[in-house]
Structure 1
Amino acid sequence: MSVKTLDQQGRWRNKTVAFRVSPEEDEQIEAAVRLSGLTKQDYIIRRLQEKEVVVVGNPRVYKALKNELAKVLVELQRIDAEGGVSRDLLDTIELITLTMQGMKDEQ
């Protein structure tokens, strides 16, 4: 049996919460988690409790930003060839922009 551990506030975290999402929703959640630098658990809990998600720049966050921007570039090139912009892409661009602005404000 695994060792029981307390969270930072001294609480036992022994309840499991699960829900289903579409593949598109999953990718949006995963992108937001990568860009936040938090664990998925911490990110979801903060969002559900309407607490601010503060992104602290670190190598993992910078790599996630680079990878997300590369995906956006590929999508923009596809759009240029076909025409039309998806709502998911606009949401991702907005999230990246907010993250970059927050990191800029820190310096």
Structure 2
Amino acid sequence: MMSGLDHNRKRNQTICFRATPEERKEIEARIKVSGMPKGEYCRQSLLNQKIEINAGKYQSDRLSIEIKRLRELTEQIPQEQFQDLLQEIKILLKQLISILNDNYELKR
């Protein structure tokens, strides 16, 4: 990324992912049909979709271990850096709660 070109942009972060040639053709066809610019289509598709989680005991145990590890790491962070981290954690937890609520509604 060329920082001189992007520092004044609202959206100055780039996200990339890999796809097969067939997946790319299908994605590009969907973008074309939507009439939206590619970036807007991707943001809307990724941010507004419902995510279904099939979590059994193994996944729940892994989540518990990861939460414990994160708690231990946060205890080592200096107070001045902790506020930025806390804001990021709040955003992630909000997304996780939303996903879990959606999954709960789907299974009812």
Give TM-score, length-normalised by structure 2: 0.40
Q: 1 or 2, which has the higher helix percentage?
A: 2
Larger radius of gyration: 2
* Structure with higher RCO (Cα < 8 A, 6+ apart): 2
Give TM-score, length-normalised by structure 1: 0.41
